[in-house]
Amino acid sequence: MSSESNVPKWSDKYMIGIPDVDFQHQYFLRLIQRLEKRFESGMDSHITLRHFNEILKYADFHFQSEENLMLMYNYPGYQTHHNLHIDLLDEIGTTIYYYQLKKKSTTEVIEMLVKWFLDHTVEEDIKFGDFMKDSNMVIKD
């Protein structure tokens, strides 16, 4: 019997108002939910590690995508935001390393990813969404 999830369900309150970014954030949360399930299932650690690496790769892709939009629309907070992304990628990479050494528990891993998702999305990405709204700019393809 599985225990209660520590990963929140997607909610509109996480939306920043930029469809591509919101779509990617939703999928990112889904990957964290999936990793938690892999941890709970006691699945082969090699497979679990692959799921963990999937999160790292998706985060890298997502940050690049988000930053490209920031550059396209001359977002003034770009450099600060870019630095935060570098720190986050570093934190995930380090967490994977410690997880492999069994120096981070699965609970700590999930807590880190959830905290990161919530803090970064709600406190930082929202600033970009607000900038786009305040400037009356709409993302075009």
Binding site for Fe ion (CB under 5 A): 66, 125
Angle at 56 between CA 11 and CA 96, to 5 degrees: 110
- Which tokens is 76 given? 């003034």
**How long a stretch of residues is the chain?**
141
Pick 53 or 80: Cβ nearer Fe ion: 80
Give least dist CB 59 to Fe ion, A: 9
**What separation in angstroms does the CA of 45 have from each of 31, 34, 52, 58?**
17, 14, 10, 20
Pick 99 or 128: Cβ nearer Fe ion: 128
3-state secondary structure of 124: helix
Give least dist CB 81 to Fe ion, A: 6
> Which residue is at the shortest CB distance from Fe ion?
125
- Which tokens is 72 given? 């396209």
Give least dist CB 67 to Fe ion, A: 8
Give least dist CB 96 to Fe ion, A: 20
Pick 67 or 111: Cβ nearer Fe ion: 67
Residue identified by tokens 């692959």 is 50
Pick 22 or 125: Cβ nearer Fe ion: 125
